């Protein structure tokens, strides 16, 4: 019993130590480096960049850390993230997560890809903190990420096995579904 409690406390302590508390005002300043591609509110300004406004904070922290540490690679983001400290990552995540994402689903939610809805929702708003929103990302971005999970270029214990079981056609259908969802991001100071 004692061992279990200690383990649980250890987990809480580690989580606290790894993720510093984010400061949104600092994040806003740092976002000056991000806005040409992601916008100040996280609504993407270029087609290859994803929308990040209103994404779960934990997800943003995980991805920025992964780009910095080289476990996720991209020619632009690897350079951007390379020099960020844990504190700066927390500040940026707090800034971008704090905006309000609103989605419009015109299709029947019952037609959503059924293997995805438990975590990404029918409308592409994430239902768990570790998962990203998919609403309104371009179908090319979603397609590329699923193929990266499938071929091992991007690794995640949940998404790797899911993508491994998908055909190109299923990947495209899921990508098209979430790309069709309308997304608006409202900047929250
Ligand atoms: C020159 C353009 C550019 C700049 C500047 C840039 N990004 Fe990115 N960002 C991208 C692209 C392109 C991707 C998609 C990477 C991929 O395809 O894997 C991306 C991906 C991301 C992701 C992953 C999102 C997801 O849904 O998985 C996060 C988080 C992110 N960027 C945050 C930032 C932050 C914070 C900054 C500023 C410190 C920043 N980016 C600056 C282009 C940029
Ligand atoms: C059990 C939960 C779960 C299910 C079910 C699930 N996902 Fe995910 N998904 C995640 C998590 C967690 C991540 C974040 C992975 C990471 O940190 O790299 C993710 C990431 C993604 C990404 C990367 C998005 C980005 O912004 O970079 C895509 C695309 C994606 N999932 C598509 C799908 C599709 C399509 C399905 C259904 C076929 C699906 N997922 C089912 C949990 C899930």
Ligand that lies nearest to the alpha carbon of residue 62, given by its number in the listed order: 2
Going from the Cα of 34 to the center of ligand 1, the distance in angstroms, rounded, reads 7
- Is residue 8 domain-resident? no
User: What pTM was computed for the model?
Assistant: 0.92
- Is residue 5 domain-resident? no
At 110-127, the pLDDT tens digits run 999 999 999 999 999 999
At 166-187, the pLDDT tens digits run 999 999 999 999 999 999 999 9
Ligand 2 atom 15 nearest Cα = 156
Ligand 1 atom 27 nearest Cα = 63
Beta bridge partners of residue 88, listed in sequence order = none
Band of residue 5 on the pLDDT scale cut at 50, 70, 90: very low
For position 67, which CATH number holds?
A: 1.10.760.10
Going from the Cα of 145 to the center of ligand 2, the distance in angstroms, rounded, reads 9
Separation CA 145–CA 141 (nearest Å): 6
> How high is the mean pLDDT of the chain?
91
For the chain, give percent helix, strand, coil, nearest 5.
Answer: 55, 5, 40
Give the pair of three-digit tokens for residue 98: 């704090």
Ligand that lies nearest to the alpha carbon of residue 96, given by its number in the listed order: 1
- Is residue 82 domain-resident? yes
Residue 86: which domain range? 21-186
Counting the structural domains of the chain, the total is 1
């Amino acid at each position: 019993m004692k061992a279990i409690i200690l383990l649980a406390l250890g987990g809480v302590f580690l989580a606290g130590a790894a993720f510093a508390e984010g400061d949104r005002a600092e994040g806003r300043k740092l976002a000056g480096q991000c806005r040409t591609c992601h916008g100040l509110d996280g609504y993407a300004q270029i087609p290859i960049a994803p929308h990040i406004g209103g994404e779960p904070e934990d997800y943003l922290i995980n991805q920025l850390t992964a780009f910095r540490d080289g476990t996720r690679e991209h020619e632009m983001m690897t350079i951007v993230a390379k020099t960020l400290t844990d504190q700066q990552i927390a500040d940026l995540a707090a800034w971008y997560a704090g905006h309000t994402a609103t989605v419009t689903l015109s299709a029947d939610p019952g037609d959503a890809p059924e293997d995805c809805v438990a975590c990404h929702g029918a409308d592409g708003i994430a239902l768990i903190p570790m998962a990203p929103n998919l609403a309104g990302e371009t179908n090319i971005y979603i397609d590329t990420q699923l193929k990266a999970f499938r071929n091992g270029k991007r690794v995640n214990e949940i998404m790797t096995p899911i993508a491994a079981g998908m055909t190109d056609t299923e990947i495209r259908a899921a990508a098209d579904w979430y790309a069709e969802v309308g997304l608006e991001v409202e900047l929250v100071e």
